[in-house]
Amino acid sequence: MNSFPVVDPIPLPAPVWLFKALHIVTLALHFCAVEMLLGGLVAGLWLSFMGRRAGKSQLGGIQLNAAAALSKRLPVVMTYVINLGVPPLLFAQVLYGRALYTSSVLIGFYWIGVIFLLMACYWHIYRFNAKVENNLRAWPMALAAVILAYAIAMIYTTNMTLMLRPEVWRDMYTASGVGSHLPPHDPTVMPRWLFMLVGGLTAAGLWMIWLAGRKTIEQPVRVYLATIGGRLALGAVVIQILLAGLVYRAQSAAIQAGLGGNPVYAAAGYAWLGGAAAVLLLAAWSAFKRPTGAGPGWAALAIGLVTMLAMALYRDGIRDLTLASKGFDVWDRVVVTNWTIVGLFLFLFVAGLVCMGWLVSVLLRAKPVSEKVA
């Protein structure tokens, strides 16, 4: 029996390909911010812990300053996590509402809980930064924020995989209609969640390579950031490649064949592997050469963006192929395009991007202020 609710009679106001393109691009940007948050918190936790343990030694001071360079930026990163999470959520609801609303209702208790976990996480990030900057014991705040962020990530992974399993929906709803019942075991959840968490460490390593090029940070701290960032990204990307293999192997044989047989998804898979190889080389070079110029940071940013885009596209393939195998074709929708609205939307979208670019350029041109804290 088909468990998907009936399709909304209101036609789509824009072509499916346009919604998909916007969805994948904005989701890739959300993932960039999420990965920086997840990994930046762990790196900040470790650096603040080690820095405090090392006391007043030179290394301790460097580690505390490196922790501060990350922690002062984490609240800003969190704003991007949230604001870049809204657009893909809206596009996903338009395209996959029948599946996504159902799974969200089924785990409604946890899904709504994200709001409160998010607020608690945000608060701990602010406290973490305040404590690092005042040279106080900060790592417990970072630890709490990490646990909260990891829990949020788990809820997202649970929902994004439950939406692909219409076969378990009825039993779950029968067991509990209040949304407090978690889905039965799914072999794809753990590899997918771990892939995102370890990806956070890769992103944090790349972020530290970028920070090593900032002139507002003291030179010894920049050298340290380049070294540690390189080592972190190097180790993490190797584990991430292994986890990517696990994510792939957790899919059914039909989905694996579909991913390999579709030229777009196959290209996205290879692009991700190419990006991972580029991360590996850049990270190894940074760990060994300890560069403090701006170039490696921009290279890290470019590689990170391309890799994330490839990952978002490949992940989209897993979803579309899985849903199609269960009777849900995302392309099968009535479309009545309202080009005036689409045009206005695209105009505002581009204008928004231009404004953001201008804001970033103002930030880059601002008079540098030393970030030294200890």
Whole-number Cα distances in Å, 233 to 39, 77, 278, 283: 10, 19, 11, 6
Q: Which residue from 88, 166, 183, 296 is in contact with ligand HEM, where contact means CB under 6 A?
A: 88
Q: Rounded to whole angstroms, how far apart are CA atoms 321 and 71?
A: 40
* 146 binds ligand HEM per the rule CB under 6 A: no
Minimal distance, residue 112 CB to ligand HEM, in Å: 13
Q: Is 273 in the site for ligand HEM (CB under 6 A)?
A: no
Among the listed residues 203, 236, 208, the one whose alpha carbon sits nearest the alpha carbon of residue 224: 208
Residues in binding contact with ligand HEM, number by CB under 6 A: 22
- Cβ nearer to ligand HEM, comparing 34 with 198: 34
Distance CA 149, CA 123 (A): 12
Could you say which of 67, 92, 162, 226 contacts ligand HEM (CB under 6 A)? 92
Residue 374 interacting with ligand HEM (CB under 6 A): no
Q: How far apart are CA 184 and CA 200, in angstroms?
A: 27
Determine, following the binding rule CB under 6 A, whether residue 89 of this chain makes contact with ligand HEM: yes
Residue closer to ligand HEM, measured from CB, 157 or 240: 157
Part of the chain binding ligand HEM (CB under 6 A), chosen from 126-134, 150-158, 272-280, 302-310: 150-158
User: Which DSSP letter does residue 10 get?
Assistant: S
Separation between Cα atoms, residue 181 and residue 166, nearest integer Å = 15
Based on the shown chain and the rule CB under 6 A, indicate whether residue 81 belongs to the binding site for ligand HEM: yes
Q: Of the ranges 87-95, 169-177, 214-222, 251-259, which one interacts with ligand HEM (CB under 6 A)?
A: 87-95
Sequence letter at residue 135: N
The contacts of residue 237 (CB under 8 Å, 6+ apart) are 202, 205, 276, 279, 280, 283
Per CB under 6 A, the list member of 29, 153, 259, 323 interacting with ligand HEM is: 153
Q: Is 157 in the site for ligand HEM (CB under 6 A)?
A: yes
Closest CA to 244 of 307, 324, 150, 323: 307
Neighbours of 347 (CB within 10 A): 10
Is residue 123 near ligand HEM by the rule CB under 6 A?
A: no
What distance in Å separates the CA atoms of residue 133 and residue 73, rounded to the nearest whole number? 12
d(CA 286, CA 234): 10
- Distance between CA 41 and CA 94 in Å, rounded? 32
Is residue 142 at the binding interface for ligand HEM, with CB under 6 A as the rule?
no
Q: Please report whether residue 321 would count as binding ligand HEM according to CB under 6 A.
A: no
Q: From the CA atom positions of the chain, what is the Rg in Å?
A: 22
Residue 98: both structure tokens together: 């029948």
Question: Between residues 146 and 282, which has the closer beta carbon with respect to ligand HEM?
Answer: 146
Q: For the chain, what is the total number of helices (H) and then of strands (E)? A: 13, 0
Q: 92 or 321: whose CB is closer to ligand HEM?
A: 92
- Residue nearest ligand HEM, CB atom distance: 85
Asked if 80 interacts with ligand HEM (CB under 6 A), we say no
* Nearest of 7, 70, 2, 74 to residue 34 by alpha carbon: 74
Stretch that binds ligand HEM, among 59-67, 82-90, 131-139, 267-275 (CB under 6 A): 82-90
End-to-end CA distance of the chain: 64
Binding marks (x or -) toward ligand HEM, 175..214, rule CB under 6 A? -----------------x---x------------------
| Interaction pattern, residues 5-44, with ligand HEM; x per rule: CB under 6 A | ----------------------x--x---x--xx------
Residues of this chain that bind ligand HEM (CB under 6 A): 27, 30, 34, 37-38, 81-82, 85-86, 88-89, 92, 118, 121, 149, 152-153, 156-157, 160, 192, 196
